Amino acid sequence: AQSVAQPEDQVNVAEGNPLTVKCTYSVSGNPYLFWYVQYPNRGLQFLLKYITGDNLVKGSYGFEAEFNKSQTSFHLKKPSALVSDSALYFCAVRPGNQGGKLIFGQGTELSVKP
Amino acid sequence: GAVVSQHPSWVICKSGTSVKIECRSLDFQATTMFWYRQFPKQSLMLMATSNEGSKATYEQGVEKDKFLINHASLTLSTLTVTSAHPEDSSFYICSARGGTSGRPLKADTQYFGPGTRLTVL
């Protein structure tokens, strides 16, 4: 079965420290991988995606993610966290030949403390 | 660019009534729109995929007669929750996938609306 896993329900980071939000996936073929962020009572905002090319993808608000095919991972990272980064983060994968559907991870709540 | 709106942002209705939620792509044409449901502190559950001019494709376990989807144009899809009950209370989110709109867009990316909070009393 195709799936996406975000092993941490919550990640706590001090402001200014680097942050990592983990994501692993299990899909057939070459997946498209995405990260979205959701603020309370809002829709999802696109952060970045990986389709092909350089394994390190840079996205919005200083976030980046590294695609690791051997480990089937796509961890989200930021060198220096801000309090305003506190939100719910979703990793998603788009398997091939499924009409563009996304499979979402369960989400990770990021809390950045001053 | 790539803005998706939803209307209404919240709605409260009585049990047994029907509620229509609109999803619009404001600055691009979307051949495909998706409808999701999200429970508090949980992930998004895909309900259906909506293609302009054709019938929606529903995910397993989603009642197509209860959740009516109409994708009448390249910029508008509607979800109607018919005969709503309290268990239908949820946060409904739509997304639109960038299609051909005369300018380069992230065609493989879904852009999400702000969501609609439905409360059925």
Residue of chain A nearest B40, judged by CA positions: A41
Å between B9 CA and nearest CA of chain A: 9
Radius of gyration of chain A (CA): 13
Question: Residue B98 phi/psi, 5° resolution?
Answer: -60, 130
Q: Do B32 and A100 touch (CB under 8 A)?
A: yes
d(CA B47, CA B64): 9
Considering only CB atoms, which residues of chain A are within 8 Å of chain B? Answer: 32, 34, 36, 41-46, 49, 51, 90, 94, 99-102, 104-107, 109
pLDDT tens, residue order, chain B (121 aa): 688 999 999 999 999 999 999 999 998 888 889 999 998 878 889 999 998 888 899 999 999 999 999 988 889 999 999 999 999 999 999 999 876 554 445 567 889 999 999 999 9
Q: Does B114 touch chain A (CB under 8 A)?
A: yes
- Run of H or E residues at A15: none
Minimal Cβ distance to B112: which of A41, A44, A106: A44
d(CA A11, CA A17): 12
Chain B residues near residue A106 by CB distance under 8 angstroms: 42-43
Question: Residue B15 phi/psi, 5° resolution?
Answer: -60, 135
Digit-coded pLDDT (tens) for A78-108: 999 999 999 999 999 988 766 678 899 999 9
Q: B72 is written with which tokens?
A: 């009448």
d(CA A24, CA B72): 37
DSSP secondary structure letter of residue A105: -
Q: What size, in residues, is chain B?
A: 121
Q: Do B93 and A43 touch (CB under 8 A)?
A: yes
